[in-house]
Amino acid sequence: MPPESLSCKECKTVYPLDARYVCERCFGPLEVSYASRADADPEALRRRIQAGPHSLWRYGDFLPVSAPPPGTLPAGWTPLLRADRLAERLGLREVWIKNDAANPTHSFKDRVVSVALARARELGFETIACASTGNLANAVAAHAAAAGLESYVFIPHDLEEQKVLATGVYGTNVVAVQGNYDDVNRLCTELSGEHEWAFVNINMRPYYAEGSKTLAFETAEQLGFRLPDRVVAPIASGSLFTKIARGFQEWIDAGLLSGRLPVFNGAQAEGCSPVASAFAAGHDFCRPVKPDTIAKSLAIGNPADGPYALDLARATKGRIDSVTDDEIREGIRLLAQTTGIFTETAGGVTTAVLAKLARRGDIDPDERVVAYITGEGLKTLDAVRGTFEAWRIDPNVSSFERAAEQRAGALA
């Protein structure tokens, strides 16, 4: 089922599969279209998937590049864990955590970069670049290093130090811009007209976005080729959120899944919640905001796929909610203490929104719920600083016993 063309999401004008992202007629976004799968045999397709590699490349039939070029850093095939202790805490019965921190650079961005970079190499690009809120820079730097390509990553100057260090180590060109992500994105859009570079999330965006579908494919396969009833996922630009739905729909259409799309719940940080605000106000479009939140990986004030995220939440009878920075910190601890998974602030947003939905009674206790944890806690350590105190003791037994007694006393 080969990719056929790029087509405009709005007016359906068709373009060749090259490095372009915007419709010349109506300025709508472009996406990859595939040849019809109507005659494909679902059983044969399912067997081919199950015989594939333990990476996102097992879903090559549904991607614009069917096999990875040599030197590819494998990404995807991350754990889907049943979280019974978390479910119990929330008064639910079946909650699953898709832990995408278990990727090579510890976020879901390894998926989108894998696909964009593979297509960029087919198109002959020798330099890879991106506009990033942190995790994308991390992934671009690593995957470019593995492929032996030069890379430039453009980031806002005030990112978490852990993310910047974990990016620079790959030998990329780290360009810190005095501005926020939306300034960085605007600059990169201009630069993409000046240089023959593959900007993974600008001129390669249609291919980049396809990588997120693999989160849906993996979820369904790991559930035994079944659909969840509800998903909770974070929203920055809205690409991940909407492409998870696209992935499920493609498998329903291909006969690999039966049923209909899950309910889609989007999660944003209150300090950058243009999509949640538009949802609450009943608007079809998002009003851009200036981000101010600890969830820096989600800090996109002008989300490109915001209107599509709103459509999806409404069409599936879902919602888009936001949570405060304190709720995000609590969400990180709730997930860690009930599942053993330490997530970054974006995962705190997702967990806090899941908890909020459960508290509000929006979730039927019998639903099968999947929450998408998209990044690693070690990248945003400041979010948990000061939340506990270590016991300070001398290296002898009596000192330990004294400290234990004091603790017990303090607790009583």
Ligand X SMILES: *Cc1c(COP(=O)(O)O)cnc(C)c1O
Is residue 296 within 8 Å of residue 290, measured between CB atoms? no
In terms of CB distance, is 45 or 215 closer to ligand X? 215
Among 375, 377, 380, 383, binds ligand X (CB under 6 A): 375
Interatomic CA distance for residues 91 and 176, integer angstroms: 44
- Residue 404 CB: number of other CB atoms within 10 A? 12
Residue 346 touches ligand X, criterion: CB under 6 A: yes
Among 239, 265, 268, 380, binds ligand X (CB under 6 A): 239
For residue 173, what is the enclosing H or E element?
strand 173-177
Partner whose footprint covers residue 374, from ligand X, Zn ion, none (CB < 5 to 8 Å by kind)? ligand X
Quick note: the x/- pattern for Zn ion over 269-288, rule CB under 5 A, is --------------------
Quick note: the x/- pattern for Zn ion over 150-189, rule CB under 5 A, is ----------------------------------------
Is residue 85 within 8 Å of residue 93, measured between CB atoms? no
Among 142, 216, 236, 358, binds ligand X (CB under 6 A): 236
Of the candidate spans 238-246, 316-324, 328-336, 382-390, the one that interacts with ligand X by CB under 6 A turns out to be 238-246
Is residue 76 within 8 Å of residue 49, measured between CB atoms? no
- Residue 350 CB: number of other CB atoms within 10 A? 32
The token pair that represents 238 in the structure block: 């809205």
Among 297, 302, 322, 338, binds ligand X (CB under 6 A): 297
Q: How far is CA 132 from the centre of its chain?
A: 13
Partner whose footprint covers residue 239, from ligand X, Zn ion, none (CB < 5 to 8 Å by kind)? ligand X
Q: What are phi and psi of 230, to 5 degrees?
A: -150, 140
Among 106, 109, 296, 356, binds ligand X (CB under 6 A): 109
Is residue 100 within 8 Å of residue 222, measured between CB atoms? no
In terms of CB distance, is 31 or 344 closer to ligand X? 344
Tokens 């099968």 map to which residue?
A: 368
Among 3, 6, 7, 8, binds Zn ion (CB under 5 A): 8
The token pair that represents 378 in the structure block: 């070690």
Among 20, 28, 42, 66, binds Zn ion (CB under 5 A): 28
Among 234, 262, 306, 377, binds ligand X (CB under 6 A): 234
Query: Contacts with ligand X: how many residues (CB under 6 A)?
Result: 18
User: How far are the Cα atoms of 141, 188, 200, 203 from residue 195, in angstroms, in the given order?
Assistant: 18, 10, 13, 11
CB of 100 to ligand X, least distance (A): 8
Among 7, 103, 105, 135, binds ligand X (CB under 6 A): 135
Three-state DSSP state, 102? coil
CA angle, 145 as apex, 141 and 148 as ends, to 5°? 135
Among 7, 107, 167, 219, binds ligand X (CB under 6 A): 107
Interatomic CA distance for residues 281 and 381, integer angstroms: 34
Residues whose CB falls within 8 Å of the CB of residue 284, separated by 6 or more in sequence, listed in order: 278, 307, 310, 311
Partner whose footprint covers residue 28, from ligand X, Zn ion, none (CB < 5 to 8 Å by kind)? Zn ion
Partner whose footprint covers residue 237, from Zn ion, ligand X, none (CB < 5 to 8 Å by kind)? ligand X
In terms of CB distance, is 31 or 321 closer to Zn ion? 31
Binding residues (CB under 6 A) for ligand X: these are 107-109, 135, 234-241, 297-298, 344, 346, 374-375
